[in-house]
């Protein structure tokens, strides 16, 4: 199994390198250099601060989901696990590294493995649900853009598929009544009930939705601040419409940390509003580098925790 995982990781690394090579071989590197030379670094620093706020909002969302499923997670725990999770997110296929680390961390803190996995999976689906909602809000504006890039027509398909998947997950516990009583059916039914509880059936459900939505807005804010730092002629509405769908498509786990795939999608997406390929490439790379920097910060936190107490330990209270 370890060998298979290693081979998959190597394959994804090769895909990442190949896609990045194709992009750089077709983009005007002189124009990329000009874009980099004109960066206003204050906006990039502000984008980094927005990234830290994003981690706080994601930690709060996770806490609300855990509470809905009967497990208390302190703010300190959630912040550390989400910050360190960014490190793993940058080194493994998109999202999987952070989720595995958070599940493992909860388990180390005494949470049963099954419950830990349910909390992390439910949190991930809640984040996905709000991402789909944001994409849906921007869809009418996207379809009104001129031009015929693949991105413009792929987003509605992805949006419909995302809505269908959410509806299927939310309603699976009812559908399961007509299915054989297999273990996978019981697991899926449990996750369906967990998601409904987290989003609609708990006294903190409104808080979960609030923090999940704020997380998406923080990610949009990061992209907008980087665009301002590059002096790109884009509006906040355009970033609101294009960035969330780009991030969703970049979640396809075929590259390391979304690298390469995100850059290709950004080039395609932002061409709809007149952003050149070199500028869109730099926009995506800077976002990735800021996220990577936050991951390195998470690595320092993890190292400090390991050196002090072996690994982060649970606190009493909230």
The string of DSSP letters for 282-304 reads: HHHHHHHHHHHHHHHHHHHHHHH
How many C-beta atoms surround the C-beta of residue 218 within 10 A?
Answer: 18
CB neighbour list of residue 85: distance below 8 Å, 6 or more residues apart:
97, 98, 99, 101, 102, 298
DSSP states of 126-165 = HHHHHHHHHHHHHHHHHHHS-S--HHHHHHHHHHHHHHHH
Domain edges within the chain: 40-309
pLDDT of residue 12: 75
Residue that the structure tokens 């959630």 belong to: 78
pLDDT of residue 253: 76
pLDDT band of residue 184 (cuts 50, 70, 90) is: confident
Longest CA span, the chain? 62
Q: How far apart are CA 84 and CA 5, in angstroms?
A: 22
8-state DSSP, 93: B
Residue 289, token pair as written in the block = 């580098």
CB neighbour list of residue 219: distance below 8 Å, 6 or more residues apart:
54, 243, 244, 247
Q: How far is CA 243 from CA 5, 115, 180, 223, 267, in A?
A: 31, 33, 41, 7, 11
Judge contact between 19 and 255, C-beta under 8 A: yes
How far from the centroid of its chain's Cα atoms is residue 25's Cα? 28
More confident residue, 153 or 255: 153
Over residues 286-305, the mean pLDDT reads 87
Q: What is the pLDDT of residues 35-62, one digit of tens each?
A: 999 999 999 999 999 999 999 999 999 9
Judge contact between 152 and 145, C-beta under 8 A: yes
Q: What is the pLDDT of residues 70-118, one digit of tens each?
A: 999 999 889 988 888 888 777 655 556 678 888 988 998 899 999 999 9
How many C-beta atoms surround the C-beta of residue 68 within 10 A?
Answer: 26
pLDDT of residue 314: 41
pLDDT of residue 313: 46
Tell me: pLDDT of 286 over 70: yes
pLDDT of residue 177: 82
What share of the chain in percent tops pLDDT 70?
Answer: 91
Residue closest to 152 by CA, chosen among 164, 162, 140: 140
Q: How far apart are CA 259 and CA 22, in angstroms?
A: 13
Length of the chain counted residue by residue: 318
How far from the centroid of its chain's Cα atoms is residue 307's Cα? 29
Residue 118, token pair as written in the block = 């349910």
Q: What is the pLDDT of residues 132-176, one digit of tens each?
A: 999 999 999 999 998 778 899 999 999 999 999 999 999 998 888
Burial environment of residue 311 by CB neighbours within 10 A (0 to 12, 13 to 18, 19 or more): middle
Judge contact between 312 and 105, C-beta under 8 A: yes
């Amino acid at each position: 199994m370890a060998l298979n995982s290693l081979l998959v990781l190597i394959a994804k690394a090769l895909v990442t390198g190949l896609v990045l090579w194709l992009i750089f071989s077709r983009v005007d590197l002189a124009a990329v250099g000009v874009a980099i030379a004109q960066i206003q670094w204050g906006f990039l620093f502000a984008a980094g601060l927005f990234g830290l706020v994003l981690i706080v909002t994601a930690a709060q969302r996770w806490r609300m989901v855990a509470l809905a499923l009967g497990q208390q997670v302190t703010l300190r725990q959630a912040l550390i696990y989400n910050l360190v999770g960014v490190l793993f997110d940058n080194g493994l296929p998109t999202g999987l590294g952070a989720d595995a680390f958070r599940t493992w961390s909860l388990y180390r803190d005494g949470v049963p493995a099954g419950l830990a996995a349910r909390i992390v999976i439910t949190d991930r689906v809640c984040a996905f649900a709000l991402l789909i909602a944001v994409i849906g809000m921007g869809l009418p504006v996207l379809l009104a853009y001129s031009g015929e890039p693949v991105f413009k027509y792929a987003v509605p398909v992805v949006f419909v598929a995302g809505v269908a998947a959410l509806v299927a997950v939310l309603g699976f516990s009812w559908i399961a009544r007509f299915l054989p009583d297999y273990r996978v059916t019981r697991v899926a039914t449990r996750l369906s009930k967990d998601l409904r509880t987290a989003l609609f059936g708990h006294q903190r459900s409104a808080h979960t939705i609030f923090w999940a939505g704020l997380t998406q807005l923080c990610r949009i804010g990061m992209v907008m601040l980087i665009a301002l730092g590059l002096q790109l002629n884009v509006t906040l509405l355009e970033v609101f419409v294009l960035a969330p769908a780009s991030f969703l498509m970049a979640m396809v786990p075929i590259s390391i940390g979304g690298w390469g795939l995100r850059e290709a999608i950004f080039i395609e997406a932002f061409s709809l509003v007149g952003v050149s390929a070199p500028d869109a490439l730099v926009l995506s790379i800077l976002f990735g580098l800021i996220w990577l920097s936050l991951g390195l910060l998470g690595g320092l936190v993890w190292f400090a925790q390991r050196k002090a107490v072996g690994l982060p330990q649970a606190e009493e209270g909230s």
